[in-house]
Amino acid sequence: TGDGVRLGSQVKVAKIMSPTRGVPAFIEITKALNRDPFQTPVSCPIASVGGYGGAMGPAQFISTTWLSYAPRVKEITGQEADPWNIRDAFFAAGLYLRDAGGIKDEFSAAMRYFSGGTWTKYEEFYGRSVLEIASRYEEDIKTLDNNLAKGQ
């Protein structure tokens, strides 16, 4: 149905994933990984944003998107790609962001990662927060580089 339950409390949650697109893709993924689809966690929908939940693993891929990146990850790693495996998840995320134009336009790539090809001004909090965090990481890396150059 696309509905689910919260881990722990078992409270019912509507619109975990699209019953026509998300569920069949999710079943395909869990079957390939020998996982029980009814015991495999995914994210709930974000009420303030609307739409479906269903994002999988640490990089929060939607099942249909994962299916397009899993073969590329498998080709590189030589193993079945698993969205709940941190290495595979962020390998695929890097490919996705590069494909989304992240080398030239980090904000647009981050927004595509969050909302697909279109987004509203209301959702731009996400892209701004990603760029702010990335900026802090860049400063941390510069500090580490400077300390290494000084022998510290």
Of 80, 111, 75, 84, which is closest to residue 96 (Cα–Cα)?
111
Question: What distance in Å separates the CA atoms of residue 70 and residue 76, rounded to the nearest whole number?
Answer: 10
Helix (H, G, I), strand (E, B) or coil at 22: helix
Write the pLDDT tens digit of every residue in 87-145.
999 999 999 999 999 999 999 999 998 888 888 888 899 899 999 999 999 999 999 98
Residues in CB range of 30: below 8 A, 6 or more apart: 36, 37, 40
- Chain-wide mean pLDDT for the chain? 92
The answer to whether residue 50 scores a pLDDT higher than 80 is no
The structure's pTM equals 0.81
CA distances to 10, 26, 40 from 18, rounded to whole Å, are 20, 10, 16
Owner of token pair 């279109």? 118
Q: Tell me how far the alpha carbon of residue 101 is from its chain's centroid.
A: 16
